[in-house]
Structure 1
Amino acid sequence: MKTGMTIPFMEPGWNRQQMKAWAETIDSGPWSSLALGERITFFNPEFITSLAACAAWTTRVELISTISVLTMHNPVLMAKQFATIDLISDGRLTVGVGVGGRKEDYDAIGADWGKRRLAVLEDSCNTLRRIWKGEQVLENARRIVEPLPIQPGGPKILSGSIGPKSIEAAARFSDGLSGFSFMASLDEIRQSFQQMNAAWQNAGREGKPRLIASFWYGLEQKGKEQMQAHLQRYLNFMPKDLVASLLPEAGFNGSANDLKDFLAEIQAMGADDVILVPTSRNLDEIRQLAEVLSV
């Protein structure tokens, strides 16, 4: 099992030097992947621009979008943008996609909330793949949409699916699951893997789906306090009383060694990757965690 690291862009206060330092630190190891997600009406730097910058600042790690709200965008433009990032990264991009859950983000960019449907997501993913294979998107167009990705046929597509219906759809159109456990629950992670494996077989797919688990974490008491402060900001679209009831159970809290043991249990479930989501911009934390996980 591989272990990736998310850049916590959902924390406020980033500048160029900090962004670059995080990308380079993750690239230096032992992390297998660098992940980042998308929001519109929030603190984070713009998603595609940040992904491209990280592609330029790194040379080794896989780059994973966790996740791109694909149904909020024009899939043809997204295909071109992702292909460009694959070019910049020399073929290190994996595209995690989903429908998102914030109507405010859709509204802010004039996107149609009515397109937040699994059928639209599947169709958009098919569009990405057609373009990446060099197929025409317009009849009698003078050229195809380029550049073509470095990876033949384009980057792998993972689905940020939660729940049986979403996972069933993901088994039809994606290359695997980019899952997220709000509570960092072993039972929840195990169930999502089992559902994906079953849906994959039912869909008549060959081989196996890639299985990724992800969750917020905070180390020790200080990390727990930081994680709760982060989530109070990040979950601002939810009613305050609901957020207050969820905070004590959200994410993983413990020592670095506790986290190492927790990852071992996820590995035993058949996970291909775990992508950790820190809630602090403190780079020393992931450096210290890297030392523990490398032992």
Structure 2
Amino acid sequence: MRIGLGLPIADPTALLTWAQRADDGPFSTLGLLDRLVYDNPEPLVTLATLAGATRRIRVQTEVLLAPLRQTPLLAKQSATLAQLSGNRFTLGIGVGGREDDHAAAGADIRRRGRILDAQLEVMHRLWAGEPHSDEAGPIGPAVRPEVLFGGFVPAAIDRVGRWGDGFLAAGPLEHVETTFRLAEKSWQTYERPGKPRLVGQLNAAIGPDSVADEARSEMTEYYGNTNFANALVTTPDDLKAQLQRLEDLGADEAMLYCWSPDPDQVDRFADVTA
């Protein structure tokens, strides 16, 4: 099982240091979340910068809220990032559930699932080099990034087999097991060859209590409650145990999210996962 890092959003100026340390270490991927009405760096712009500052590590949105964006432009941006990064970009995609994000983007939150389905049909055609419509021709580059889906309900997870390459699971490990199995069922339903790529997320902060306290504070502010913060993994033994549990559930990759911007977490995670 590969190990990636979810990037902190509290201090965007620290992200180049995180990315370059991770690129020199054992990590496979850098992940970055997406919000609109929040003080976080825009993920596609940020990951393009980090891809240009690294040599081998992949960059991944976890997850990009597609209904907030204009579809042909999103197709072009994601294809461009895949092309210029040397195919190191993964488009983790979902719908989001916060009303303020959708209000600011002028998107109807009640139709967000249907909007995403329509976007996926258009983006896959554009990535294949097909014309946009009778009025507009192809929109390059004709490059298809890897596509992973995040979500919690069966309708969202069913997109894995229909449109994607794999699934991003967040939440308690018991929930991860359920969603992994649903993703595999979707893959079989659409008679896809092989199997979907399965990625699990863990929130962790290893080291001084001050780092864990900062991580919990950032998580509580972002999510608006303490549920995720209370599940923060703070010891090497607990982290090893949860990583083993994810691997036993069939995860191909685990993404470790530390909400504190302390770049020493990169080295502490490397020590634990070695």
TM-score, scaled relative to structure 2: 0.92
Partner in structure 2 of residue 133 of structure 1? 128
| Matched residue type, 2:72 | V
Tell me if the contact between 1:218 and 1:226 (Cα under 8 Å) persists in the aligned partners: no
Please show how residues 206-245 of structure 1 align to structure 2 within 5 Å: 206-219=193-206, 221-236=209-224, 243-244=225-226
Partner in structure 2 of residue 164 of structure 1? 154
Tell me if the contact between 2:211 and 2:262 (Cα under 8 Å) persists in the aligned partners: no
Tell me if the contact between 2:205 and 2:265 (Cα under 8 Å) persists in the aligned partners: no
Q: What displacement does 1:134 show?
A: 0.5
Identity rate, percent:
29
Tell me if the contact between 1:38 and 1:66 (Cα under 8 Å) persists in the aligned partners: yes
Q: What displacement does 1:224 show?
A: 3.8
Take 1:248 and 1:36, find their aligned partners in 2: how far apart are those partners? 18
Aligned match for 2:76, one of 62, 77, 80 = 80
**Deviation by residue 1:47-104 (Cα, 9 ceiling, x = unmatched):** 2211211121112011111111011111110010011111221111111100011111
**Deviation by residue 1:244-269 (Cα, 9 ceiling, x = unmatched):** 5x2564x3323123212221121111
Take 1:7 and 1:159, find their aligned partners in 2: how far apart are those partners? 18
Tell me if the contact between 1:59 and 1:89 (Cα under 8 Å) persists in the aligned partners: no
Partner in structure 1 of residue 34 of structure 2? 38
Partner in structure 2 of residue 259 of structure 1? 239
Tell me if the contact between 2:3 and 2:255 (Cα under 8 Å) persists in the aligned partners: yes
Aligned match for 1:146, one of 112, 135, 140 = 140
Partner in structure 1 of residue 180 of structure 2? 193
1:218 match: secondary structure: coil
1:254 match: secondary structure: coil
1:138 match: secondary structure: coil
Q: Report whether the alignment pairs 1:52 with 2:40.
A: no
Tell me if the contact between 1:223 and 1:253 (Cα under 8 Å) persists in the aligned partners: no
1:275 match: secondary structure: strand
Q: What displacement does 1:232 show?
A: 2.0
2:12 match: secondary structure: coil
Report the RMSD for the aligned CA atoms in angstroms.
1.9
Cα 1:247–1:4, aligned 2, differ >3 Å: closer, same or farther? Answer: closer
1:137 match: secondary structure: coil
Tell me if the contact between 2:216 and 2:232 (Cα under 8 Å) persists in the aligned partners: no
2:158 match: secondary structure: helix
Tell me if the contact between 1:94 and 1:155 (Cα under 8 Å) persists in the aligned partners: yes
Partner in structure 2 of residue 240 of structure 1? none
Cα 1:278–1:173, aligned 2, differ >3 Å: closer, same or farther? Answer: same
**Deviation by residue 1:19-63 (Cα, 9 ceiling, x = unmatched):** 221221121121100111111111211222112111211120111
**Deviation by residue 1:214-236 (Cα, 9 ceiling, x = unmatched):** 13223364444223211221023
Q: What displacement does 1:112 show?
A: 3.0
1:253 match: secondary structure: coil
- The range that moved more, 283-292 or 200-209, is 200-209
1:95 match: secondary structure: strand
Q: What displacement does 1:206 show?
A: 2.2
